[in-house]
Chain A
């Protein structure tokens, strides 16, 4: 198998007429890593993928693969292979012909092609299925054939455009693990496009979060989730309770925020905003539902939120509690199901507490649309 090579985007701009699809993207993807672009539909992530695969020419900037500038090199000459959202398997060819198409293009003989296809069928755990037609396979099997077809081209970079979106939940979760395993086995660079944060966080070494053509943050999944760089990232990745307010005081990397409706709360300033916030600035504090716990009257006020229960929802692994704070402020708390009995029910006022380290303070910014 090929060694994975790095992919570099430098000052990449892509415009369609007046519309700017990608705005000054700078990304450095290391060879052999699993890299994801995460963002809502229309944020420009697929456009970036098409620029890397060569179906689209950047308006400005450079795409480099393995240090080599790709300008003027067509899609059929690049060391990349793309897995399409709808897979785009060839319906009139047998499974093995699909897989070995890249070899057919290179003029490899039929016996050799068949042998290679069978090897790849073993890799994707579909041994002996080569003579079937594509239409005879299930969704998950087609998925794997698409991966094998792309791998057969021996690409140095594999590009995946939301390939799991058509599968049902169970299969999707299974394929996540499988994709990650295949990536580690073949060792090449994977660039993955998704709007599903679960996929991005579970599989990737690094994630780039995009919004309207702009990359807001590039980091590993843990950092994206725990230490978001912008209000958009905080609200798009996972769920978050947002408290808007004014910074009252700053102490090192901690800040006291005077929120509009929930009083003064203490939180940690996100690394990306370090040194940017000073007393009097407008700020947002993000506390995830699972960062809220049951508190009591003894909890210090700067880490306590009181609110009235509206209703509870049982999700299996967790109870989601929907509450209403002062002046109708909506708050969600998520309690892990440890077999405890449910809360005392709607209408009751309860105190919740949080660890200020898990309350992220960021400058005021645009949130992700619901």
Chain B
């Protein structure tokens, strides 16, 4: 600590300590702790806060699993119905959200890996990098506006339907919104740069001679990727996948604007509890469940693919 201040001087050193401390404590730890605290409390009108009714309870988490007291759904284990109530709606949405986030992540990965490889390794890619930077420009526009743009593109009278009908490929406009095509396209697009740039960074630092060496030793292209490029790019791939998965699972604007009438995203349920439901305690509990599940999922994936957390930070 003494060395730190000697290196940076008291002014800069003090600033760094205060800024980082403020960031970690006030912007990350305290809000999360507050939410964690609320999630274990009853939803009370302001007058009753602090009264004997204001006690810690697991009821919000219980609700996530079991639903309302009158809920007729029962948990079935291996085909045998038990007496345990079961919150079919919320759990299904939760699972669907996670699966959809996995799907969007994989979709982005499959789309971005070849592109990142091309930009990072081929000679033509070198001149294409400027164009890759142009990919950023749409992101100067607000996320919600971009979601609306997708709604316009995929709408009944949108560009895609107009072209398809105009070409005579379909008679009626296809309802991309109802079928959730617009939603997945929007989500896939929303965080695609967070996938492409980490992978590009990793692949770009791979010595091209290694690819040529593998080829010279008789390797077909797919084995070069499997044995040389992908292992090398793994930290970048993990970092991209983690960010896209986390952000997709936590996305609100795109599902709100692009989701079909029957589709519900778990974040929308959280939003409902906070907003229309006026039940912050329950919303907090749901948010904590989503956060912790996502963290566990990501850590498990990292374990499975043998990536250390330090490698991602590179």
Which A residues have a C-beta under 8 Å from some C-beta of B?
A: 53-55, 74-77, 80-82, 84-86, 88-93, 101-102, 104-106, 149-150, 153
Interface residues on chain B, size class: 10 to 19
Instruction: Verify B207–A86 contact, CB threshold 8 A.
Output: yes
Instruction: Verify A84–B217 contact, CB threshold 8 A.
Output: no
Contact status of A86 and B217, CB under 8 A, knowing A92-B231, A92-B232, A105-B223: no
CA distance A301 to B124 in the complex (A): 64
Instruction: Verify A55–B217 contact, CB threshold 8 A.
Output: no
* Interface check B228, CB cutoff 8 A: yes
Binds A, one of B76-84, B140-148, B208-216: B208-216
CA distance A93 to B219 in the complex (A): 15
* Interface check B227, CB cutoff 8 A: yes
CA distance A88 to B206 in the complex (A): 10
Contact status of A55 and B212, CB under 8 A, knowing A90-B227, A90-B228: yes
Instruction: Verify A88–B209 contact, CB threshold 8 A.
Output: yes
CA distance A85 to B220 in the complex (A): 23
| Chain B hits for A91, CB < 8 A | 232
Instruction: Verify A90–B210 contact, CB threshold 8 A.
Output: yes
CA distance A228 to B285 in the complex (A): 87
Instruction: Verify B219–A105 contact, CB threshold 8 A.
Output: yes
Closest partner residue, chain B, to A55 (CB atom): B212
Looking at the assembled complex, report how far the CB atom of A158 sits from the nearest CB atom of chain B, in whole angstroms: 11
Closest 4 CB pairs of A and B: A88-B209, A88-B213, A102-B217, A105-B218
CA distance A149 to B210 in the complex (A): 13
Looking at the assembled complex, report how far the CB atom of B235 sits from the nearest CB atom of chain A, in whole angstroms: 11
CA distance A74 to B212 in the complex (A): 11
CA distance A102 to B223 in the complex (A): 11
| Chain A hits for B216, CB < 8 A | 53-55, 75-76, 80-82, 153
CA distance A85 to B210 in the complex (A): 11
Instruction: Verify B214–A101 contact, CB threshold 8 A.
Output: yes
Instruction: Verify A75–B212 contact, CB threshold 8 A.
Output: yes
Closest partner residue, chain A, to B224 (CB atom): A76
* 20 pairs of residues in contact across A and B, judged by CB atoms under 8 Å: A53-B216, A54-B216, A55-B212, A55-B215, A55-B216, A76-B219, A81-B216, A82-B213, A86-B209, A90-B210, A90-B213, A90-B214, A91-B232, A92-B231, A101-B214, A101-B217, A101-B219, A104-B223, A105-B223, A153-B218
Which B residues have a C-beta under 8 Å from some C-beta of A?
A: 207, 209-210, 212-220, 223, 227-228, 231-232
Instruction: Compute the total of residue contacts between A and B using a CB distance below 8 Å.
Output: 63
CA distance A101 to B207 in the complex (A): 17
| Chain B hits for A77, CB < 8 A | 218
Looking at the assembled complex, report how far the CB atom of A368 sits from the nearest CB atom of chain B, in whole angstroms: 28
Closest partner residue, chain B, to A161 (CB atom): B209
Instruction: Verify B219–A88 contact, CB threshold 8 A.
Output: no
Looking at the assembled complex, report how far the CB atom of A150 sits from the nearest CB atom of chain B, in whole angstroms: 8
Given A82-B212, A88-B209, A149-B217, 18 other A-B contacts at CB below 8 A?
A: A55-B212, A55-B215, A74-B215, A75-B212, A75-B215, A75-B216, A76-B215, A76-B219, A82-B213, A84-B209, A84-B212, A85-B209, A90-B210, A101-B217, A104-B223, A104-B227, A105-B218, A153-B216
Looking at the assembled complex, report how far the CB atom of B83 sits from the nearest CB atom of chain A, in whole angstroms: 53
Closest partner residue, chain A, to B223 (CB atom): A105
Instruction: Verify B218–A76 contact, CB threshold 8 A.
Output: yes
Looking at the assembled complex, report how far the CB atom of A49 sits from the nearest CB atom of chain B, in whole angstroms: 11
Contact status of A105 and B217, CB under 8 A, knowing A88-B207, A90-B227: yes
| Chain B hits for A90, CB < 8 A | 210, 213-214, 227-228
CA distance A85 to B212 in the complex (A): 12
| Chain A hits for B228, CB < 8 A | 90
Instruction: Verify A102–B212 contact, CB threshold 8 A.
Output: no
Closest partner residue, chain B, to A149 (CB atom): B217
| Chain B hits for A150, CB < 8 A | 217
CA distance A198 to B215 in the complex (A): 31
| Chain B hits for A74, CB < 8 A | 215
| Chain B hits for A86, CB < 8 A | 207, 209
